[in-house]
Amino acid sequence: MKIIVTSTGDGMNATVDPHFGRCSYFAIVDTESGDFEAIANQYKDAAGGAGTKAAQFIIDKGVGALLTGHCGPKASEVLDDTDIQIVSGINKGTVMEAVNAFKEVGRGQGGGQGGNR
């Protein structure tokens, strides 16, 4: 499964960015192959609606989960009827740590159902 982590930098060891719509980078990690890609957030400085556009961006990327600090009401509405699992409240640590923690929980639960919205 591909997951997106909001990040402050373009590496696996960068700190997670607690903002969703206005994060610096979207780190895309493939949990099976280990492939990693960081894409700069082009909506970071939008005057308004950064969250809606960021949400549409991750839908278009076809990911299974989003790990971030806080996902605003507009972004949540866009993501509402998708099956993207949103894990919020991740305010510290590196991208790698967030991904590993997510994988651990997933194993414990036997597949990432639910998640804390």
Partner 1 sequence: MILAVASGKGGTGKTMLATSLALSVADAQYIDCDVEEPNGSLFLHVNIQTHQPVGIPVPRIDKDRCSLCGLCSEACEFNALAQSKTHVLVFADLCHGCGVCSYVCPEDGAITETERRIGMVETGVFQDMNTHDVLFSQGRLDVGELMATPLIKAVRKTSDPARTVIIDAPPGTSCPLVETVRGVDYCLLVTEPTPFGLNDLELAVGVMRLLSLPFGVIINRSDSGDNQVKNYCQLEGIPVLMEIPFRRDLAEAYSKGIPFVQIDERYRTLFQQMVVKIRQELEL
Non-local CB neighbours of 74 within 8 Å, separated by 6+ positions: 49, 51, 52, 55
Measured distance CA(108)–CA(18) in Å, rounded: 25
**Footprint (CB under 8 A) of partner 1, residues 32-61:** 43, 46-50, 52-53, 55-56, 59
Compare residues 1 and 46 and give the one whose CB is closer to partner 1. Answer: 46
**Footprint (CB under 8 A) of partner 1, residues 57-76:** 59, 74
The yes or no reply on residue 77 touching partner 1 (CB under 8 A) is yes
Measured distance CA(113)–CA(13) in Å, rounded: 27
Minimum gap (Å) between residue 15 Cβ and partner 1? 26
The yes or no reply on residue 82 touching partner 1 (CB under 8 A) is yes
The yes or no reply on residue 5 touching partner 1 (CB under 8 A) is no
H and E: helices and strands count for the chain: 3, 5
